[in-house]
Amino acid sequence: MLNEDVRKQFPILDQEVNEHSLVYLDSAATSQKPQSVINAVNEYYERYNSNVHRGVHTLGSRATDGYEGAREKVKHFINANSIKEVVFVRGTTTAINTVAHSYGRENLSEGDEIVLTKMEHHSNIIPWQQVAKVTGATLKYLPLQEDGTISLEDVKETVTSKTKIVAMSQVSNVLGTINPIKEVAQIAHDNGAVIVVDAAQSVPHMSVDVQDLDVDFFAFSGHKMCGPTGIGVLYGKQSLLENMEPVEFGGEMIDFVGLYDSTWKELPWKFEGGTPIIAGAIGLGAAIDFLQDVGMEAIEAHEQELANYALEQMQTIEGITIYGPKERAGLVTFNLDDVHPHDTATALDALGIAVRAGHHCAQPLMKELQVAATARASFYLYNSKQDVDKLVEGLRKTKEYFGDVF
């Protein structure tokens, strides 16, 4: 397990909420930020705030170095082949929309198929629904197994020569399922399709290598990995990005502009119209430094231990339903019998424990699980077994409380 020193670097965790020490179990929604990330963003605004890629003054070149330096860090972090493959965007949603509206519109036509899973976040469903509407392509969903996983047999059956795009999360934000991306990518490629991976819940928690996975597009958000909100990454293979049109046009992304036609900058800048998210990228760079200092393997092991411990402890609560497979990433989605998850979350909040309740932006999955909503506790490197103990104690109290009022 990681030690207490990691937690101490997150100033926000040192406070009381509703007269109890804060127990933050909602990192799958957004993670907290270590002091070093907060400092990096502050330093940019206090010492070298300036626009990038233009002007010759000193602050401008420091800002450019900070922004492009962050891109370099991302490249190493996910093992991209080149910085040309690392596009800064607002977040996972924007990244997937960029692929859908550029690659999707250009390469899909009637009769083509897009294959998805039923555990996708709305951000990896709706862009494809929209593109399907304008291109005439159809969506096909891989079924979910009883335990919340997908089977490679089903992938082999569903992905055919009609398939042009396979869109899948690496880790489910509800079930915690870890999908076999490398194997699915292979099947997609064998059928001439590309794979688009929603990595929002994986990149913060495990080491990833986009070349080893052989993925075509890979999207993630900075704010879930100790970085600021408003910054995310679209990784794409250079050969694919090269042939794609930008989706946003304007400043920053142009080469030559004429009265009637214009040309674009080279990769990755042709996809970054407008003044970019400079402070966000610098903050993301600091977050990557922080995560690498702790070590991604250590983080993964820490969360694995927490998830196992939480599963074990939570299962001792009578009348709890836990969703998702046994082998999972660091989150547990659950419901208490006869207590609506909103009521559970409000009761836990009264004890200073922050969990998410609702449909987790996965309405089709909720339908599949036959529930309207669920509660979710999600862990990160700053959580401890004591946090899990407090959660379990809080859940017992919640049950008791609502049992009594009934």
Partner 1 sequence: MSFNNLDTLYRQVIMDHYKNPRNKGKLEGDHITVELNNPTCGDRIDLQLKINDGIVEDAKFEGEGCSISMSSASMMTQVIIGKNAEDALKISKMFSDMMLGEEADTSEYKLEDLGDIQALQGVSKFPARIKCATLAWKAMEQGVEKEE
Tell me whether residue 244 or residue 373 sits nearer to partner 1 (CB atom). 373
What are the two backbone dihedrals, phi and then psi, of residue 20, each rounded to the nearest 5 degrees?
-130, 150
Determine the 3-state secondary structure of 384 from DSSP: coil
Q: Which of 13, 17, 20, 252 touches partner 1 (CB under 8 A)? A: 20
Would you say 28 and 356 are in contact if contact means Cβ atoms under 8 Å apart?
A: yes
- Under rule CB under 8 A, residue 18 binds partner 1: yes
Tell me whether residue 23 or residue 171 sits nearer to partner 1 (CB atom). 23
- Under rule CB under 8 A, residue 162 binds partner 1: no
* Parallel/antiparallel/unpaired status of strands 217-221 and 194-198: parallel
User: Which residues on neighbouring strands pair with residue 334, listed in sequence order?
Assistant: 322, 375
Determine the 3-state secondary structure of 307 from DSSP: helix
Q: Which of 73, 101, 328, 390 touches partner 1 (CB under 8 A)? A: 390
Give me 124's structure tokens: 């990896």
- Under rule CB under 8 A, residue 256 binds partner 1: no
- Under rule CB under 8 A, residue 355 binds partner 1: no
Give me 164's structure tokens: 């042009």
Contact window for partner 1 (CB under 8 A) among 58-66, 248-256, 257-265, 366-374:
366-374
- Under rule CB under 8 A, residue 340 binds partner 1: yes
- Under rule CB under 8 A, residue 357 binds partner 1: yes
Determine the 3-state secondary structure of 390 from DSSP: helix
- Under rule CB under 8 A, residue 1 binds partner 1: no
Tell me whether residue 204 or residue 341 sits nearer to partner 1 (CB atom). 341
Helices marked H in 33-119: 35-43, 58-78, 92-99, 105-107
- Under rule CB under 8 A, residue 62 binds partner 1: no
Going from the C-alpha of 300 to that of each of 169, 208, 296, 303, 324, the distances in angstroms are 18, 11, 6, 5, 18
**Per-position DSSP letters for 186-228, written without gaps between them:** HHHHHTT-EEEEE-TTTTTTS---HHHHT-SEEEEESGGGTS-
What whole-number distance in Å separates Cα of residue 271 and Cα of residue 130?
20
**Catalytic residue flag (residue 226):** no
Shortest separation between residue 258's beta carbon and partner 1, angstroms: 44
Rg (CA), the chain: 22
Q: Which of 347, 381, 388, 391 touches partner 1 (CB under 8 A)? A: 347
Contact window for partner 1 (CB under 8 A) among 1-9, 13-21, 40-48, 104-112:
13-21
Tell me whether residue 83 or residue 350 sits nearer to partner 1 (CB atom). 350
Please tell me which residue in 137, 361, 381, 391 is annotated as part of the active site.
361
- Under rule CB under 8 A, residue 342 binds partner 1: yes
What whole-number distance in Å separates Cα of residue 70 and Cα of residue 62?
12
**To which residue do tokens 């469903």 refer?**
125
Contact window for partner 1 (CB under 8 A) among 57-65, 195-203, 324-332, 341-349:
341-349
- Under rule CB under 8 A, residue 17 binds partner 1: no
Catalytic residues: 361
Q: Which residues bind partner 1 (CB under 8 A)?
A: 18-20, 340-343, 346-347, 350-351, 357-359, 363, 366, 372-373, 390, 393-394, 397, 401-402, 405-406
